[in-house]
Amino acid sequence: MNPKNKQAQAIVRRLKKTYPRAAIALHFHNPLELLVATILSAQCTDKKVNEVTEDLFKHYRSVDDYAEADPAQFEQAIRSTGFYRNKAKNIIAAAQKIMSDFKGTVPQAMDALVSLPGVARKTANIVLFSGFGIIEGIAVDTHVRRLSQRLGLTMHDDPSKIEQDLMGLVAKKDWGFFSYLLIEHGRAICAAKKPLCPECVLKDICPSRKKFYP
């Protein structure tokens, strides 16, 4: 096993111990709600999305409801999540495609999910793992990108390349949870502007520590 794989194993082991309840922060009851919430979460906090979906999910309960939604009304319902026009367009179009191509059921395959408007690999990975328990890859959001770069696990900026690097280092059984572990750590310790390196459980194996605390 090469040094980077050992480092990745150590990172997973320590973060699991530190954040034993790490899980997706979005609220949902089924894969359709998870899909909608994840699309809404782009450039928006999970807290805000949960506030919006608490009411949204009471009015939109089925794929039909989304597919037949009035665009103007739907835009207003999700307005506070930002980029609401584009998100509304994608969610409605995704629901229509689910109706026409997938018999009204959110698909359980990566290639099918990424064919939906507004769905790239990050969203698809989240829906597959947290919605269906299927491990296909590693969801790369801003926290995952920042921490994987700081930890020296990747040198890339492109999410798809970062995902490939991480998949080569992290054991497949941990792919689904790895994102949530990094997200928890990013929020609690490894912040974008001022990481709390002295309090970090990874400080002795993080190549970026001296950059912030020389």
Res. 127: pLDDT tops 80? yes
- Sequence-separated (6 or more) residues with CB below 8 Å from residue 208: 150, 151, 152
The answer to whether 179 and 138 have CB atoms below 8 angstroms apart is yes
In this predicted structure, what is the pLDDT of residue 58? 97
Please tell me the predicted confidence (pLDDT) of residue 213.
Answer: 85
Assign residue 109 a region (left: φ > 0; alpha: ψ between -120 and 50; beta: otherwise): beta
For residue 36, what pLDDT is reported? Answer: 98
Does residue 122 have an active-site annotation?
yes
Pairs from 48-52 (Cβ < 8 Å, separation ≥ 24): 48/80, 48/81, 49/81, 50/25, 50/26, 51/80, 52/77, 52/78, 52/80, 52/81
**In this predicted structure, what is the pLDDT of residue 128?**
98
**What 3 state SS string does 168-184 have?**
HHCCHHHHHHHHHHHHH
Beta strands in the chain (DSSP E): none
CA–chain centroid gap for 46, Å, is: 10
3-class DSSP assignment, residue 48: helix
Average pLDDT along the chain:
97
Which tens digit of pLDDT belongs to each residue from 146-175?
Answer: 999 999 999 999 999 999 999 999 999 999
Alpha carbon distance 97, 113 (integer Å): 10
Closest CA to 86 of 40, 28, 33: 40
pLDDT digits (tens, 9 = 90+) for 37-63: 999 999 999 999 999 999 999 999 999
Segment 185-190 shows an average pLDDT of 97
Kindly tell me if the per-residue pLDDT of 1 is higher than 80: no
> Exactly one of 46, 64, 65, 141 is catalytic; which is it?
141
- Note the pTM of the prediction, 2 decimals: 0.95
Catalytic residue among 87, 122, 165, 174: 122
pLDDT for the residue numbered 134: 98
Question: Is 6 one of the annotated active-site residues of the chain?
Answer: no
CB 4 within 8 A of CB 88: no
18-23 mean pLDDT = 97
Q: Does the pLDDT of residue 30 top 90, yes or no?
A: yes
Say whether pLDDT at 97 is over 90.
yes
Q: What is the pLDDT of residue 214?
A: 79
